[in-house]
Chains A and B, each alone.
Chain A
Amino acid sequence: MDVNKNFEFVTAFGTFKVSELMQQYVFEDCFPSIQKFLALRLPMKEKEKGLIRKMLKLMFMSVGYKSKAIHEKRIQQFVQEVRAIPQLQDLGGDVNLASLGITTDDQEEN
């Protein structure tokens, strides 16, 4: 199965491109879930730290492919949560929203 081909899924509610479903999966489901998972602050061994480091890097790389306001909101919440966890600061969690090209709610008001 090559997911790189942009095929469509036919459901009872209509037809959706797989790329749209991938975006929805990543930004609307993975980001909030991983946010809650990291908030558990589980103890990590070296291997697990490496996995978290890789995952955080991939998550921040995927930010460039957001396409909806809800994606941006989820990314904001994720970054704010990650920055509040000291354990993650050495694992690539010390990213700020501006460097990801995302404006905060406060900036939008100004």
Chain B
Amino acid sequence: MMYMAEMKLQYTQFMVNDKQMPEIDIPPEVAYVISYIQLIAFSGMGKNASSETRAQAIFPIEDVIINMKIADFCYPLKSAIMLFLEHIYFDVEKDMNEDFIGQVWAIVEYVADDLQKFVEVMQRSKRQGGAAMARGGAEGGTLDLVNEMGSVEELNKV
């Protein structure tokens, strides 16, 4: 959490200085954690009960949820956590217990929030006249579908 606060502080300083493209350093400690989570995730690839159980003991679902909340805008960390969830908790050999089923919906809520944020950012950048964010992404037919589906604001009203 301390490192995330440090990264936010960097961002605030850039905003105060009014620079065009702020840069945020990922502290080496966070980079280490990201690589560590990825490494454990890869150990549980496929149906591999023994590795999955050990990995679940190292990084329990409660900690995964807390880290998902802390990660906030640090997408490399979030990516590592999602990779971990995929290989260690979702694509598993053993059946999951009741505790896991009760807690997993919190993760789904975080993912839904992130997706909402992503769509909002992309819609805004599209409206602002094709910033680099949407380059190559919003093509013909698919854009029509997005327009048909409406905006995120409309989705929230539902």
Q: Which residues of A contact B (CB under 8 A)?
A: 1, 3-12, 15, 17-19, 21-26, 28-30, 32-34, 36-37, 39-40, 42, 48, 51-52, 54-55, 57-67, 99-102
The interface residues of chain B, by DSSP majority, are classed as helix
In the complex, chain A residues whose CB is within 8 Å of the CB of B122: 62, 64-65
B76 within 8 A of partner (CB): yes
Given contacts A10-B24, A55-B115, A61-B146, contact A22 B121 (CB under 8 A): yes
Contact A37–B108 (Cβ < 8 Å)? yes
- Mark B78-104 against chain A: 1 for CB-CB distance below 8 A, else 0: 110011011000110000100001001
Contact A36–B73 (Cβ < 8 Å)? no
Given contacts A52-B108, A58-B155, contact A8 B72 (CB under 8 A): no
Report B68 CB to chain A, min CB distance, Å.
Answer: 11
The interface residues of chain A, by DSSP majority, are classed as helix
Give the docked Cα–Cα distance between A60 and B22 (Å). Answer: 31
Contact A6–B76 (Cβ < 8 Å)? no
Q: How many residues of B contact A (CB 8 A)?
A: 63
Contact B137–A65 (Cβ < 8 Å)? yes
Given contacts A62-B115, A64-B145, contact A33 B72 (CB under 8 A): no
In the complex, chain A residues whose CB is within 8 Å of the CB of B111: 30, 33-34, 55
Contact B75–A18 (Cβ < 8 Å)? yes
In the complex, chain A residues whose CB is within 8 Å of the CB of B58: none
Report B148 CB to chain A, min CB distance, Å.
Answer: 9
Contact A1–B135 (Cβ < 8 Å)? no
13 contacts between A and B (CB under 8 A): A6-B133, A7-B23, A8-B22, A8-B24, A29-B86, A36-B90, A37-B108, A57-B149, A59-B115, A61-B119, A61-B155, A62-B118, A64-B142
The residue in chain B whose Cβ has the minimal distance to the Cβ of A57 is: B155
Partner of B21, one of A7, A33, A40: A7
- Mark B117-134 against chain A: 1 for CB-CB distance below 8 A, else 0: 111111011000001111
The residue in chain A whose Cβ has the minimal distance to the Cβ of B146 is: A64
Contact A33–B105 (Cβ < 8 Å)? no
